[in-house]
Structure 1
Amino acid sequence: MTNARANSLSRRIVRSIVVLVLAVVCALPLYYVIISSFKTSVDMTRHPFALPEKWMFANYGQAIADGSIWTAFLNTIVVTVFAVILQVAIGSLAAYAMVLKRNWLTVGMGAVLTLAFCIPVQSTLLPLYKMEGAVGIVDSLPGLIALYAADSAFCYYLIVGYMRKLPFELFEAARVDGASPWRIYWQIVLPLIRPILATVIVFQTLAVWNDFLRPSVFISTQEKRTVVLQVYNAVNGYSTNWPLFMAITCIALTPVVVFFLFCQRWIVSGLVAGAVKG
């Protein structure tokens, strides 16, 4: 018994050391970005990982001086909010239809959606650009939001597995009471799948906020840039002023880091709840 306890303690110590080392490795780039944003270019070159000799808060003042970063924040918020609402609505409705009426047609559509989830985004950029160009919504926020509708396949993929574990007797009882399919979805299904909806919303919010590929291809006007494009533009405009670039990066990272820290408990809890439900 004593040997077993000693072995268990040794395993915990080794596991803790490994986790601590991995945490330090993951945190090191963030530490470098933060401290570099308060340095001069000379100090950043000479002492890359040391604390600043003189804290340069002027880098942040210069980063927000022209106001373009706030416009980029507003654009990103608008795109993220409407895109995530669209993705969750389409994904949850598609999952509901697949579960409510299971036949050869819904099974085939489910297979198509799963296949769509496996298609790389890069391979669809050219046809999507032509399609949006034909209707005149290239270089617009509504056009960018419409692009993210394709990510509804990921939402469907997560939600349908959770929804299949719901007790089907609830649907039958609601039908007997005269509830319409829409009422069943709105008043019964949505409250029951809130854990997985929260998980999907967190995943998709982070994905849309941090996306660079689609905005870089479809957005060219400066006033319509997202935060990620604004950071990329800082590299082009201030390629020799790395402390300024780090300051802009910190400003861009702050909202999404706060959002993730606030919502991270729903990521695992929603997935685990879906795995053990029923």
Structure 2
Amino acid sequence: MRQGGKKLALHLFVLLGALVILIPFYMILVNSFKGVRESALFGMGLPSEWLFSNYEKVFEQGNILRGFKNSFLLAGLTVFCVNLFASMAAFVIQRRDDRLMRGLYLTFIIGLIVPVSIVPTIRLMDILGVKGTYFSMVMYYTAVLLPFSVFLLVGFMKQIPRELDEAAQIEGAGFFRLYARIILPLLITVLVTVSIVVIVSVWNDFFGPFYLVTDSTKWTIVLQIFNFVSLYNTNWGVVFAFMVIVVLPVMLVYLLLQRYIIDGLTAGSVKG
């Protein structure tokens, strides 16, 4: 009886937490169908008149297709770079368990804690002559997301027995062939998790493109919201409609692939 009460209390707590998380999404969705004056109140009630024209204005005025193109491009290139560099680094760090590799791994762990400093980043990009380019943004996101990815992959790779390496080397496999043919296919589950985390992080990021991209034609989908925000007159119904369109692809990706996120995070947290 006591155990059943604890289980019921846990379920109620989880339900309450889910409702708290869903309230902002509900508010955004409801206000996306309201007019200028009604949406400015940020109320939770249903609109007095459902204005589907807010979504039409987003597609007519918001350069939304260009924003989607930029976001997809940055997310795709960052996923490729993070998966490639993180898997290679994790393979070397875990298989060469010496002082140098432990120090390198510690450096990546520090990267999880130390916040990103925008001003030195802008200065470095300016010195290298890549400021405001797609390349600079991809390298920026790769550097920011690499520590977490290496941490996850190293934890998972500890479960892969070294006997596989020895067997492949006996068969004549070199270092790169061992990585590409043996290790990389075994990392698919965690790499899917890393890819989802990278996509969500790049897609939802606002401050990175805001500070590092000066050309409005290269703005991501999140930055395109500036087209509807002004100092004295903002149609919040259109802004909320834009936010719904921005969030929807990420929510679909998460709902469809959440099982891989849980599996990958669980596998990567196991210590061998």
The two structures have a TM-score, normalised by structure 1, of 0.91
Q: Structure 1 46/226 Cα, relative in aligned 2: closer, same or farther at 3 Å?
A: closer
What's the offset of the Cα at 1:51? Answer: 1.6
Q: Quick check: 1:68 aligned with 2:100? A: no
1:165 to 144, 159, 163: 159
Residue aligning to 1:141: 134
What's the offset of the Cα at 1:49? Answer: 1.6
Verify the 8 A CA contact 1:238 1:245 in the aligned structure 2. Answer: no
Q: Structure 1 16/117 Cα, relative in aligned 2: closer, same or farther at 3 Å?
A: closer
2-structure distance, mates of 1:251, 1:243: 13
SS of residue in 1 equivalent to 2:56: helix
1:48 to 30, 39, 43: 43
SS of residue in 1 equivalent to 2:60: coil
What's the offset of the Cα at 1:237? Answer: 7.2
2:78 to 77, 83, 99: 83
Listed as ranges, the gaps of 5+ residues in structure 1 are 1-5
What's the offset of the Cα at 1:274? Answer: 3.8
Listed as ranges, the gaps of 5+ residues in structure 2 are none
2-structure distance, mates of 1:69, 1:104: 50
Q: Quick check: 1:243 aligned with 2:243? A: no
Verify the 8 A CA contact 2:27 2:44 in the aligned structure 1. Answer: yes
One-letter code aligned to 1:126? V
Q: RMSD in angstroms over aligned alpha carbons? A: 1.9
Q: Quick check: 1:228 aligned with 2:213? A: no
Q: Structure 1 211/67 Cα, relative in aligned 2: closer, same or farther at 3 Å?
A: closer
How many residue pairs get matched?
Answer: 271
Q: Structure 1 67/21 Cα, relative in aligned 2: closer, same or farther at 3 Å?
A: closer
Residue aligning to 2:125: 132
2-structure distance, mates of 1:143, 1:237: 31
The correspondence of residues 172-211 of structure 1 with structure 2, limited to 5 A, is 172-211=166-205
Residue aligning to 1:3: none
1-structure distance, mates of 2:46, 2:191: 42
What's the offset of the Cα at 1:45? Answer: 5.1
* Offset from partner CA, 1:172-216 (integer Å, 9 cap, x none): 110011001111111111121222111111111111111112111
Moved over 6 A (4+): none
Q: Which moved more, 1:70-79 or 1:261-270?
A: 261-270
1-structure distance, mates of 2:184, 2:233: 48
2-structure distance, mates of 1:239, 1:84: 38
One-letter code aligned to 1:189? I
Residue aligning to 1:96: 91
One-letter code aligned to 1:163? M
What's the offset of the Cα at 1:275? Answer: 4.4
One-letter code aligned to 1:133? D
Identity of aligned residues (%): 32
Residue aligning to 2:27: 32
